[in-house]
Amino acid sequence: MPAETASVSANAVSSHPTQGVATRPATTMPLPGNARAFRVTVISLLGLCVLAPILLIFYQSFLDGPFFTPASKLSLEAYRYILTDAMFYDALWNTVIMAAGMVIIAVPLGAGLAFLLTRTDVRFRKTLEVVVLVPMFISAIVLAFGYTVSVGPSGFITMLSRHIFGAAPWTLYSLTGIVIVTGLAHVPHVYLYVAAAMRNLPSDLEEAARSVGAPIWRVFLDVTMPMVLPALIFATALNLLVGFEMFGVPYVLGDPSGIVVLTTYVYKLTTLFGVPTYQLMAVVVVLLVLLTLPLVWYQRRLLRHGRRYAALGGKGPRTQVMRLGRTGQIIALSFVGLWLLVSVMLPIGGIVLRAFVDAWGQGVNPLEHLTVKHFGNLIEVPSLFRGIVNTVILSVVGGAAAVAIYLVIGLAGHRNQGFSNTLLDYMVLLPRAMPSLIVGLAFFWLFLFVPLLVPLRATLISLFAAYVIVGLSYGLRLLQGTLIQIGPDLEEAARTTGASIGQTWRDVVIPIVRPGLVGAWALIMIVFLRDYATGIYLMSAGTEVIGSLMVAQLQSGAMDTIAALAFVSILLTGVGLGLAFRLGAKIHD
Amino acid sequence: MTELIVQNVHKYLGGLHILKGASFTASRGSIVSLLGASGSGKTTLLRCVAGLEQPENGVIKIGGKAVLDGEKRMTVAPENRNIGLVFQSYALWPHRTVAENVAYGLRLRGVNKADTEKRVLDTLGNIGLGHLAERYPDQLSGGQQQRVAICRALVYQPKVLLMDEPLSNLDAKLREEARYWIRKLVLDLEICAVLVTHDQAEALAASDNILLLRDGAVAQEGAPQEIYDRPKSFFAADFLGANNVASGRISRNASGTRIQGDGWSLDGVVLGEGEDGDGKAVIRVEQVAVHGQPGPGRIEMRLEACLFLGDRWEYRLAWGAFRAKAFGTRPLASGQVWAEIPRQSVWLFPEAA
């Protein structure tokens, strides 16, 4: 056997050929008791859960009918249809504009916000650090609806503006409207990454720039920004990805005026022809994944680089903040305040008001028409009531179960090396390439036609399975982040004392990461709480959740009910967020 | 009684050959030290014995039972090797009290509650930590943590106690106490112990046998005195002790061996192997005596400086191109002095051809 096959420890140091290699035995003995069987089983099962939906969609795209009808044959007809459909190109173009526009708005604002909150003495810093994250935790559908009721064609602000100025010079239901709303909503995503990088910067470099006479804005542009460039690039890639997969905002704001993006185009195809046109939907998804896959791959590369970078940061150098001065404070606070006003107060305020009034318009003071009757519906209509209960169950119980599953997967990859670990990395990232709407669709198909799963389709299990895959990459990153903090010595000490790897995990690893698990549970809870897209196709009597109910109600235009649902969703998110902070969750992504 | 046998262990990492056939044995009531600079493979060798690293080849037997056999592709997991390992960082579990840390090994071995409690308290009591049993590790000092770590590794009476730089995180004074204390413990309890260290004083003071490692191979093995007084190679001579090293030409004649440099020459004994020619001389600093007057066998040198070190004086000597350090009990005036260097203390190592 050639000596080269010996290098099983693949991802070790770049193997320079030396004389030593020649005498090396043919194979490396595996480490005994390293839970190989467990790791292989878990990674294979995960592979099955991740690949099954993707492969099903891929297969479906090459058929001329639904995959479950025997008459369906292999064909490229669906590709021909989509690639010659003018609406597809329209959607593709709009998607690119939306993603790019979102990046153009979110990246500079997020970076500026990060600079203000980490490198300067801007006032109310502690409060702002929490408040600026809020848009991240609110469901996009709630946010979009919030804009509709406040600045939409018949929104409160629009009416007020018409009343006072005689006109309202904006159109929310336009591509520009969509770009601005999504851009502002994703500022926190950029802020988080850039702020993390900025906190690790030693302040003497900035102080040096100031000492040679640079004003603060020049320091920001010439010194701080170039040094956090990797974080900026990462945030850009992430936002492009999010932009390609965004569904809620373009659906709510684009649908009324016929603006489609790829995700809403897929959704429209469902109803376009009376019969399910699965093959056409599958083709769009395949094309969309071809767009997002390179971004996911690039993100993985950046992330590995980023980990090295974070490790270098270690304790974090002492940072001295820059003094803004009086004028600086006013400018900075107005900037932050304006952004908060537009991206938090406007939509949330709109929803809160809309949920409690039943009449408004030109010359009507909504405050004179306060009511709680919209909430009556939520209790009386069984499907709505079930939706709220289901959402809470899925978030609280499902979130805990998901964390348990992520923990098992995390342990399977913990201190694991070689091929199976690389495989795990990709399995975890793959679902990221698919919008959650599509993950939900794929799981719907699986639960519709895999014999064992069929009885579970109308239960929360089907929804939970899809949620676990949607939250996989975020959840696993949370858990791996806590697992990696345990010194290897602590685990090795248990092994040499006589504990098997299973006992080591039970008695040492899990007790030490317990606080991290609780924090992860709170964050996963919010992720499940705000989700609206995964459950759209999986919705049936018994599997309603707030988010998918809102999407369904939009079609029937039941604005009162939507407002009440949105209000409940915000309330639940607020509770979840409060819990997360109390439990000391570390927020990222 | 020999409890540990290590034969011809080879370990590779990527393309690097980290252990090149290390072998040694260890018996009860004695300490074997693995001594070497960083990168010499001493910790890797210890981890191979513990089963935390997997060597590509070799044989390791613990208590007469093979735990690794490269030929048969047989290997035993760390938890089944019946060893105790003390980590450099101590690796005490932060979520458990001292007593729980120590009790874990007994719990895993199915010892009942009452016995466990008794043995834990006995072991802790033996080393004077009985009163700290209910504390958490972060409430202990470094020295206390280190003793708890040793307790934890000893309480279930493993066949072999492995210690990876157990003293390196202690301050200098504590270290001297601890090496005495560890040696006493090993002798009293008749433990078979292996100690990894980069500190030669620790190895010399604490062990019965020293393995001097270099680049993953054993450079020399022997009792502390033997390895200090009769090094077999320039590396071994230079690694241990405080030394004067000079380069010159080695030549042999009827009366003995000499090394000659620019303006100086010394009689010596050849310890290394090789032909006459270029080579090096190693003279332990303490073997050079400096006098104010000439005498038989004394060499005239120039005293360039005299430094006060507290408990003694350090002299800086020059003789042609030869430079040397020596110690004495009194200050000397710069200028002419006479040095005495016994022939037996001038160790000559011809350069390998």
Tens digits of residue pLDDT in B239-267: 999 999 999 999 888 778 999 999 999 99
Contact B200, B165 (CB under 8 A): no
Same domain for B209 and B292, yes or no, is no
Q: What is the Cα Rg of chain A in Å?
A: 26
Residue A481 makes CB contacts below 8 A (sequence gap 6+) with A516, A586
| Domain end point (choices A315, A341, A365) | A365
List alpha helices for B24-112, DSSP H. 42-50, 98-108
- Which amino acid appears at position B315 of this protein? Y
Whether B284 is covered by a domain: the verdict is: yes
Residue A272 makes CB contacts below 8 A (sequence gap 6+) with none
Averaged over A309-318, what is the pLDDT?
41
Cα B319 to Cα B266: distance, rounded to the nearest angstrom: 11
Same domain for A244 and A323, yes or no, is yes
Is the model's pLDDT at B167 over the cut of 50?
A: yes
Angle between helix A510-530 and A472-483 (nearest 10): 160
Same domain for B123 and B216, yes or no, is yes
Averaged over A334-346, what is the pLDDT?
91
Cα B345 to Cα B231: distance, rounded to the nearest angstrom: 12
Q: For residue B41, how many other CB atoms are within 10 A of its CB?
A: 24
Please give the pLDDT value at position A28. 67
Length of chain B: 353
Task: Say if the Cβ atoms of A20 and B17 lie within 8 Å.
Answer: yes
Please give the pLDDT value at position B353. 54
| A9 vs B: CB within 8 A | yes
Same domain for A411 and A316, yes or no, is no
Please give the pLDDT value at position B248. 93
Same domain for B72 and B194, yes or no, is yes
SS3 for A18?
Answer: coil
| A3 vs B: CB within 8 A | no
**Neighboring chain B residues of A499 at a CB cutoff of 8 Å:** 79, 104, 108
Whether A27 is covered by a domain: the verdict is: no
Closest in A12, A487, A511 to B95, CB measured = A511
Cα B203 to Cα B225: distance, rounded to the nearest angstrom: 11
Cα B72 to Cα B52: distance, rounded to the nearest angstrom: 19
Whether B159 is covered by a domain: the verdict is: yes
| A16 vs B: CB within 8 A | yes
User: Which one of B9, B10, B12 makes the best mutation probe of the A interface by having the most chain A beta carbons within 10 Å?
Assistant: B12
Same domain for A444 and A538, yes or no, is yes
Please give the pLDDT value at position B231. 94
- DSSP-derived pairing of the beta strands B83-86 and B160-164: parallel
* CATH number, domain with residue B45: 3.40.50.300
Whether A583 is covered by a domain: the verdict is: yes
Please give the pLDDT value at position A304. 67
Is the model's pLDDT at A23 over the cut of 60?
A: no
Same domain for A319 and A226, yes or no, is yes
Averaged over A140-159, what is the pLDDT?
89
Residue B193 makes CB contacts below 8 A (sequence gap 6+) with B26, B30, B31, B32, B160, B161, B162, B163, B182, B186
| Domain end point (choices A349, A365, A381) | A365
Return the minimum-mean-pLDDT range out of A202-206, A233-237, A395-399, B231-235.
A202-206
Please give the pLDDT value at position A324. 83
**Neighboring chain A residues of B104 at a CB cutoff of 8 Å:** 494, 497, 499, 507
Q: Domain tally for chain A?
A: 2
**Neighboring chain A residues of B162 at a CB cutoff of 8 Å:** 496
Domain of B80 in residue numbering reads as 2-231
Is the model's pLDDT at A237 over the cut of 80?
A: yes
* CATH number, domain with residue B284: 2.40.50.140
Q: Domain tally for chain B?
A: 2
Averaged over A429-449, what is the pLDDT?
88
Contact A252, A145 (CB under 8 A): yes
Same domain for A310 and A378, yes or no, is no
Same domain for A447 and A510, yes or no, is yes
Is the model's pLDDT at A150 over the cut of 50?
A: yes
| Domain end point (choices B231, B266, B297) | B231
SS3 for A425?
Answer: helix
Task: Say if the Cβ atoms of B95 and A512 lie within 8 Å.
Answer: yes
Please give the pLDDT value at position A209. 83
Q: Give the pLDDT band of residue A314 (cuts 50, 70, 90).
A: very low
Please give the pLDDT value at position A587. 63
Higher pLDDT, A19 or A284: A284
Q: Give the pLDDT band of residue A578 (cuts 50, 70, 90).
A: confident
The C-alpha torsion from A175 through A181 and A184 to A186, rounded to 10°, is: -90
| Domain end point (choices B205, B231, B257) | B231
Whether B124 is covered by a domain: the verdict is: yes
DSSP A519-574: HHHHHHHHHHHH--STHHHH--TT---HHHHHHHHHHHT-HHHHHHHHHHHHHHHH
Return the closest-CA partner of residue A106 out of A243, A213, A7. Answer: A243
| Domain end point (choices B231, B262, B289) | B231
Same domain for A361 and A306, yes or no, is yes
Please give the pLDDT value at position A20. 39
Q: Give the pLDDT band of residue B1 (cuts 50, 70, 90).
A: confident
**Neighboring chain B residues of A507 at a CB cutoff of 8 Å:** 104
Is the model's pLDDT at A3 over the cut of 70?
A: no
CA distance B66 to chain A (A): 14
Is the model's pLDDT at A588 over the cut of 60?
A: no
**ipTM greater than cut 0.90:** no
Contact B341, B288 (CB under 8 A): yes
SS3 for A541?
Answer: coil
Task: Say if the Cβ atoms of B87 and A489 lie within 8 Å.
Answer: yes
In tens, the pLDDT along B293-342 reads 998 889 999 999 999 999 999 999 999 999 999 999 999 989 999 999 99
Cα B143 to Cα A301: distance, rounded to the nearest angstrom: 43
Residue A39 CA, distance from chain mean position: 27
Same domain for B44 and B185, yes or no, is yes
Cα B51 to Cα A73: distance, rounded to the nearest angstrom: 57
Is the model's pLDDT at A310 over the cut of 80?
A: no
**Neighboring chain B residues of A493 at a CB cutoff of 8 Å:** 85, 87, 91-93, 152
Kindly state the tokens that stand for A352: 């809160």
Whether A18 is covered by a domain: the verdict is: no
Please give the pLDDT value at position A19. 38
Strand partners, B300: B338
Kindly state the tokens that stand for A120: 């300067």
Return the closest-CA partner of residue A181 out of A130, A234, A141. Answer: A141
Q: Give the pLDDT band of residue A303 (cuts 50, 70, 90).
A: low
Q: Mapped to the 3 state alphabet, what secondary structure does B214-266 carry?
A: ECCEEEEEECHHHHHHCCCCHHHHHHCCCEEEEEEEEEEECCEEEEEECCEEE
Strand partners, B160: B83, B192
Instruction: Return mean pLDDT, chain A.
Output: 84
Task: Say if the Cβ atoms of A32 and B104 lie within 8 Å.
Answer: no
Whether B213 is covered by a domain: the verdict is: yes
Cα A220 to Cα A226: distance, rounded to the nearest angstrom: 9
| B56 vs A: CB within 8 A | yes
Whether B31 is covered by a domain: the verdict is: yes
Whether B236 is covered by a domain: the verdict is: no
Whether A485 is covered by a domain: the verdict is: yes
Same domain for A414 and A516, yes or no, is yes
Same domain for A249 and A120, yes or no, is yes
pLDDT over 70, % of chain A: 90
Burial A242-266 (b: 16+ CB within 10 A, else e): bbbbbbbbbbbbbbeeebbbbbbbb
| Domain end point (choices A337, A365, A393) | A365
Same domain for B208 and B262, yes or no, is no
Same domain for B24 and B86, yes or no, is yes
Whether A456 is covered by a domain: the verdict is: yes
Please give the pLDDT value at position A177. 92
Whether A32 is covered by a domain: the verdict is: no
Whether B22 is covered by a domain: the verdict is: yes
Return the closest-CA partner of residue B246 out of B269, B279, B268, B272. Answer: B279
Kindly state the tokens that stand for A55: 């492969």
Same domain for A448 and A394, yes or no, is yes
**Neighboring chain A residues of B70 at a CB cutoff of 8 Å:** 25, 29
* CATH number, domain with residue A204: 1.10.3720.10
Please give the pLDDT value at position A540. 86
Q: Give the pLDDT band of residue A407 (cuts 50, 70, 90).
A: very high
Q: Give the pLDDT band of residue A110 (cuts 50, 70, 90).
A: very high
Same domain for B130 and B223, yes or no, is yes
Task: Say if the Cβ atoms of A499 and B104 lie within 8 Å.
Answer: yes
Whether A31 is covered by a domain: the verdict is: no
pTM of the model: 0.86
Whether A211 is covered by a domain: the verdict is: yes
Instruction: Return mean pLDDT, chain B.
Output: 92
Same domain for B209 and B274, yes or no, is no
Same domain for A380 and A361, yes or no, is no
Same domain for A469 and A580, yes or no, is yes
In tens, the pLDDT along A495-523 reads 999 999 999 999 999 999 998 898 889 88
Return the closest-CA partner of residue A9 out of B10, B55, B60, B216. Answer: B55
SS3 for A361?
Answer: strand
Is the model's pLDDT at A10 over the cut of 50?
A: no
Same domain for B40 and B98, yes or no, is yes
In eight-state DSSP terms, residue B301 is: E
Cα B340 to Cα B293: distance, rounded to the nearest angstrom: 11
Whether B237 is covered by a domain: the verdict is: no
Same domain for B150 and B247, yes or no, is no
In which residue are the tokens 């317990």 written? A514
Averaged over A182-196, what is the pLDDT?
89
Same domain for B333 and B211, yes or no, is no
Cα B278 to Cα B353: distance, rounded to the nearest angstrom: 9
Domain of A328 in residue numbering reads as 103-365
Higher pLDDT, A487 or B225: B225
Is the model's pLDDT at A309 over the cut of 80?
A: no
In tens, the pLDDT along A151-182 reads 988 888 888 888 888 887 888 899 999 999 99
In tens, the pLDDT along B277-290 reads 899 999 999 999 99
Same domain for B68 and B14, yes or no, is yes
